[in-house]
Structure 1
Amino acid sequence: MRAVGVTEFGGPEALHVVDVPPEPLGPGQVRVRVTAAAVSPTDTHLREGAYAGRDPVQEFPYVPGMDAAGVLAEIGPGTDTDLQVGDRVMAIVVPTGAHGAYREDLVLPAGSVTRAPAGSTDAEASTLPMNGLTARLALDLMGLQPGQVLAVTGAAGAFGGYVVQLGRADGLTVVADASEADEQLVRDLGADVVVRRGDDVADRIRAEFPDGVDGLADGSVQDAAVLPAVRDGGAVATVRGYRGDGSGRVRVHPTLVRRVAEDRVALDRLREQAEQGVLTLRVARTLPAEDAAEAHRLLARGGVRGRLVLTF
């Protein structure tokens, strides 16, 4: 079974095509023939070895990838699902060892898989599961109410863009950051107010909302630097484990998508919202799986808008 992984940790050049055995199919599981796998910063951290030792038993090759799309190939015994063999599907993957989205054949819990949005390509569908669920979880953890103000940093990115769109759908007022080049993109995603991105983004947000915003999703991973943008008692959702400055002035919620990786109801709701046009599926470029190293190089250079997607 063809996959793209690493046999030693390193830079993009460490990625290469490897042969892995098919995964066994058990109760409550489905098998997906993967045709598209989105590339994310999490994949680069795995490639570099940042997560080595996180799981009890791991050995090379390590296969990255948290987003997959393709065709449902098989359903395990006793599996509760309304999916049928042959359906076009998308899935979130929690990588462990050779179990990652960069492979042709993948066995997953049924709760991690739902239909691909109607009218989407497989590449487009692969951009939604991980970032979409992370964005949804971030908003749910903050618990904002319609009419409250949400700030989003990294709004032009995949996670940030979904937070902007889901926040608007939740009835929130959204203030988002952007470079000059990305300002129109972020406005098109639905931001009510756009401020210039940068180290002083908290000051820029406060200039627009002097009392502070009610919640902030920190897609740009600025951690402590963005806390001043939030009012006392407000909430912040972070994406790299940051837990706040210890003051207790604001509620800080590390947003770990693994917690909702089998929430098929939430995943299917994202599908519906993509079909309704609430969410925009953005593909920057597709590359054959054999060119995964180049995809990682492109991501490292920055400026990618939408997801790079590997195709099988």
Structure 2
Amino acid sequence: MSTALMRAVGFTAFGGPEVVSVAEVPVPEPGPGQVLVRVSAAPLHFFDRAARSGALRSMLAEGPRYVLGWDMCGTVHTVGPGVVAFAPGDPVVGMVDWLTTRTGTQAEYAVLDASALAPAPAGTTPAAASTLPLNALTATQALDLLRLDAGRTLAVTGAGGAVGGYVVELAKDRGLRVVALSASRDEGFLTGLGAVFVPRSDDPAGALLAAAPEGVDGLVDGASLGDRVLPAVRDGGGFVAVRPPATPEPQRGIRTMPVITRGDGAQLRSLVDLVDKGRLTLRVARTFAYEEAHLAHEQLDRGGQRGRLVLLP
């Protein structure tokens, strides 16, 4: 009996965008508590670039084919033993912990834990829906780490980016005052979300303090500015690094911590609900076919896009 095959985006050697290719690999099978999803769309992320480039060389070995991708939107194909919350045909969104599985979502089929899935948002495209899980979960889990009460002031760096935009909207939804540091082109978007806009500068801490002279109660560092913006946080405040290497050493009683995003179906359902109610914005920068994945990586390397680059089978 022949093994069923599928197309998948990945790499076998570290390097630039040219090492990314499409290959046929076996269709995975769901185990207990897992779901096999037929993928409709899967976005690219910083970690895809890090894995491909060799930045994660200490965790990966050249030779095996790694299938890239952290999250997706798709349709349930089959369910593993013990899964009752989902059935074949259900449209879903979800994420995998790629650093654990080493097998991702940029494939025609992907296996995900049922506990990391949620029904897909209604009334949106699969490409747009696929941009929700990893970035929005990162944003909400970063805010959870800060534990700020309504009325407190939050600063967000890289506020116009994929994670930063979600942080701003979710923070406003929690009743926080938001000071958003980003490029000038993002001013309209961020003020439209209700944030106080602060243009990017050579003195980001000074720019934030000009908008919040007493210092901010918490800061989510989407731009990985680290120590350069820590002076903007008041004594005893909180600082969350979106990328763990940019976590500064604690000082002045400030809690500094990375956000290590975890799949959480219940939390994802709450985020989907916000999308359905028009309180969370999904942004797609551009879509690519699998065969154009190397072009998507070229654009990812150039940076500066607003919204996600999304691969479509």
TM-score, normalised via structure 1 length: 0.94
Partner of 1:36: 41
Partner of 2:68: 64
Pairing of 1:140-219 with structure 2 (within 5 A):
140-191=144-195, 193-219=196-222
Q: Say if 1:69 and 1:90, in contact at 8 Å, map to a contact too.
A: yes
Shift of 1:190: 2.8
Structure 1 unmatched runs, 5+: none
Q: Say if 1:60 and 1:98, in contact at 8 Å, map to a contact too.
A: no
Shift of 1:248: 5.0
Q: Say if 1:116 and 1:271, in contact at 8 Å, map to a contact too.
A: yes
One-letter amino acid of the structure 2 residue matched with residue 214 of structure 1: D
Give the whole-Å Cα distance in 1 for the aligned partners of 2:248 and 2:166.
23
Give the whole-Å Cα distance in 1 for the aligned partners of 2:170 and 2:10.
33
Shift of 1:198: 2.9
Give the whole-Å Cα distance in 2 for the aligned partners of 1:264 and 1:58.
33
Partner of 1:271: 272
Give the whole-Å Cα distance in 2 for the aligned partners of 1:148 and 1:45.
35
Give the whole-Å Cα distance in 2 for the aligned partners of 1:304 and 1:51.
23
Give the whole-Å Cα distance in 2 for the aligned partners of 1:249 and 1:58.
43
Give the whole-Å Cα distance in 2 for the aligned partners of 1:236 and 1:80.
39
Give the whole-Å Cα distance in 2 for the aligned partners of 1:246 and 1:183.
31
Number of aligned pairs?
306
Give the whole-Å Cα distance in 2 for the aligned partners of 1:103 and 1:75.
18
Shift of 1:207: 1.0
**Residue 300 of structure 1 pairs with residue 305 of structure 2:** no
Q: Say if 1:165 and 1:189, in contact at 8 Å, map to a contact too.
A: yes
Structure 1 residues 303 and 88, CA gap change in structure 2 (3 angstroms): same
Pairing of 1:243-258 with structure 2 (within 5 A):
243-247=247-251, 249-257=253-261
Shift of 1:104: 0.8
Shift of 1:59: 5.6
3-state DSSP of counterpart to 2:180: strand
CA deviation string 1:143-176 (max 9, x = no partner): 0000000000001101000000000000000010
CA deviation string 1:23-61 (max 9, x = no partner): 122110001001101111111001112224437x99611
Deviates more, 1:293-302 or 1:152-161: 293-302
3-state DSSP of counterpart to 1:256: coil
Partner of 1:236: 239
3-state DSSP of counterpart to 1:181: helix
Q: Say if 2:14 and 2:62, in contact at 8 Å, map to a contact too.
A: no
Partner of 1:78: 82
**Residue 130 of structure 1 pairs with residue 134 of structure 2:** yes
Structure 1 residues 180 and 203, CA gap change in structure 2 (3 angstroms): same
Partner of 1:87: 90
Partner of 1:283: 284
Q: Say if 2:96 and 2:113, in contact at 8 Å, map to a contact too.
A: no
One-letter amino acid of the structure 1 residue matched with residue 199 of structure 2: R
Correspondence for 1:106 among 110, 117, 120: 110
3-state DSSP of counterpart to 1:203: helix
**Residue 46 of structure 1 pairs with residue 47 of structure 2:** no
CA deviation string 1:256-291 (max 9, x = no partner): 11xx21x21101111001111111000111110111
One-letter amino acid of the structure 1 residue matched with residue 111 of structure 2: V
Structure 2 unmatched runs, 5+: 1-5
3-state DSSP of counterpart to 2:247: coil
Q: Say if 1:117 and 1:271, in contact at 8 Å, map to a contact too.
A: yes
One-letter amino acid of the structure 1 residue matched with residue 235 of structure 2: D
Give the whole-Å Cα distance in 1 for the aligned partners of 2:183 and 2:58.
37
Shift of 1:246: 4.1
3-state DSSP of counterpart to 2:66: coil
Give the whole-Å Cα distance in 1 for the aligned partners of 2:220 and 2:92.
28
Q: Say if 1:80 and 1:110, in contact at 8 Å, map to a contact too.
A: no
Deviates more, 1:243-252 or 1:19-28: 243-252
Give the whole-Å Cα distance in 1 for the aligned partners of 2:295 and 2:311.
10
Q: Say if 2:170 and 2:280, in contact at 8 Å, map to a contact too.
A: yes
Partner of 1:18: 23
Partner of 2:3: none
3-state DSSP of counterpart to 1:185: helix
TM-score, normalised via structure 2 length: 0.94
